Amino acid sequence: MQNFLQKLVSSVQDIYQKAEELIEEERELPLPQKLLNDFIERYVTNNVSQIEDLHADIFDGWLRLFATVEIKGVSAQLYVDLYLMQLHLNKNTQELVFEQKDATQVVSVDFNTFTKKIAFKLAMWFYRFKGVDPLPDILSRIGIITVQNNLLHLNLERWLAHRPKVMRVLRRVEINRAQLREDQLVLQANLNFRALFGRSAEERLLDEEDDDV
């Protein structure tokens, strides 16, 4: 996240040097896939005990979300392909909304007992019988996402709202659109120059480098 904040500062400084007369302007801020996955690891994976791994491979127009979950002695790696439908990152809302592109695929499963292997197979049969996709349901049950009208809502507020440095950035940068391109998430950011440059960008966005993000 620190690297992303520094990249954000560098980007807005460059924009400001080229357009000092502008008060507000929408600009593209590319977020490399690695930084996105570092963000997911720090703010999601490390805070949910049932998630062993959660990361995304980004393609042009869609992403593949991999999840390794450990629930009651069953460790399963699954993935699902998603479209990014909405993204809101500002001081009031921090949410991403996805739509499934394809059904969940099971990559591998490990069991610590034979009975749990049987239970897993029965659970997969039940999902197929009910017409429910397993990965969104699993992520919903452990509190990662909510599912509404077949859309997957990832609300980041509970992880970000109490991070002062992140919220300082979001008070000055409002992001309401994004595009998925090969290996990167391109944010469409509204940069409020008046708020950003009341004093230097480093002071406003990265007050103390050793602060806890």
pLDDT at 119: 87
pLDDT of residue 170: 82
- Tell me whether residue 7 is exposed, middle or buried, using C-beta atoms within 10 angstroms of its C-beta: 0 to 12, 13 to 18, 19 or more: middle
- For the chain, how big is the Rg over CA atoms in Å? 19
What span, in angstroms and rounded, lies between the C-alpha atoms of 164 and 145?
23
CA angle in degrees (0–180, nearest 5) for 100-87-163: 120
Domain-by-domain residue ranges, the chain?
A: 2-205
| Cα–Cα distances in angstroms (integers) from residue 104 to residues 62, 114, 213, in the given order | 15, 24, 33
Say which residues have a Cβ less than 8 Å from residue 79's Cβ, sequence separation at least 6: 64, 65, 66, 67, 104, 105, 107, 135
Per-residue confidence in pLDDT tens, the chain, 213 aa? 556 656 665 665 565 555 444 445 678 889 999 999 998 998 889 989 999 999 999 999 999 999 999 988 889 999 999 999 999 998 889 999 999 999 999 999 998 888 888 888 898 899 888 888 999 999 999 999 999 999 999 998 888 888 888 888 888 888 889 999 999 999 998 876 555 555 444 444 445 444 555
Amino acid 209: pLDDT: 47
What are the tokens at 146?
A: 């909510």
Q: Output the pLDDT for position 10.
A: 64
pLDDT number for residue 50: 93
What is the pTM for the complete model shown? 0.77
